[in-house]
Amino acid sequence: MKENSRLAPFFVMSAGICWGIIGLFTRHLSALGFSSVQITCGRCFISAVVMILFIAVTQPRNFRIHVRDLWMFLGLGLFSIAFFNVCYFTAIQLTTLSMAAILLYTAPSIVMVLSVILFKEAFTPVKAVCLIFAFAGCVLVSGLGLEKVNMPGVLAGLGAGLGYAMYSVFGRYALTKYSPVTVTAWTFIIGFLGLIGFSRPLEFAIMAISIPSAFFWFFMLGTVITVLPYGLYTIGLNRMEAGKASIFASVEPLASTVMGVAVFHEPLTWTNLSGIICILLAVIVLNRRG
């Protein structure tokens, strides 16, 4: 394990918390009239620009990647970022927000299984118990979400979980050759290129220019809610097993619930509270045993 590995859980959980408050920004942008795909595309664009400028100023040599490694970044940008978002938004449209969130958090299970197969990570009883607690916590925090279920929506949600999981898998491969900064930058460059065609770009550009507050919300979404957490998660992933990282990131729905209660005055039920406790137990046990 690399230096400062003890900070890895902190990095990953901080990323999860940042992702958990994304609703604060997407709700404002949705209210301004932007579609889900446009919000995601704008998020990737701002993130890509910020990362390119950062690399150009601090470490321009790190922008280079080899053609033979392009598959890693295509996997990160297209299969993880673009595919995940399209599937997730489809699941939200066809089912409910809570059901989509539950299906999305099949991701830690997928990462754990693939990590055993691809990276030969040990699948211990402690990991298994933490995985169960984390998933149960996500279900409870999100609510049971069974009000509206259909098979296309369920398949889209499972696709979102797979796409979300792929960031940890492709990220592990990319981090063996490239720095976290390089990996994060190219992920969003390719993600933006993969999404721009689906975002009605002319309409998107006109709206973004004509609405005064749009730039502020997109900038905050692209930096605080995207560049920062993906950078932190990638740094954490570089210092710990992918399976563990996916469980630590399960604090995301916890943060989302807390924000919903604090900012949007959403009710906090005993079911939500039980889910929060389950997630915290999984994180605490895994961290102590890690």
Domain count along the chain = 1
Give the pLDDT band of residue 26 (cuts 50, 70, 90): confident
Q: Stretch 245-265: mean pLDDT, rounded? A: 80
Residue 172 is which amino acid?
R
Phi first, then psi: what are they for 154, rounded to 5°? Answer: -65, -45
pTM for this structure?
A: 0.79
Q: Model confidence over 137-172: pLDDT tens digits?
A: 877 876 655 554 567 877 888 888 899 889 888 998
Give the pLDDT band of residue 186 (cuts 50, 70, 90): very high
Burial of 2 (0-12, 13-18, 19+ CB in 10 A): exposed
- Mean of all residue pLDDT scores within the chain: 84
pLDDT greater than 60 at residue 74: yes
Domain that holds residue 31: 5-289
The pLDDT of residue 96 is 63
pLDDT greater than 90 at residue 86: no
Q: Model confidence over 117-145: pLDDT tens digits?
A: 888 888 888 888 888 888 888 778 766 55
Cα separations (Å) of 12 from 16, 147, 285, 288? Answer: 6, 32, 15, 15
Q: Stretch 268-281: mean pLDDT, rounded? A: 81
Give the pLDDT band of residue 224 (cuts 50, 70, 90): very high
- Which residue in 40, 43, 63 sits closest to 228, CA to CA? 43
Give the pLDDT band of residue 1 (cuts 50, 70, 90): very low
In the 8-state DSSP scheme, what is residue 82?
I
Burial of 280 (0-12, 13-18, 19+ CB in 10 A): middle
Cα separations (Å) of 230 from 133, 233, 245? Answer: 24, 5, 12
Which stretches does DSSP call E strand in the chain?
none
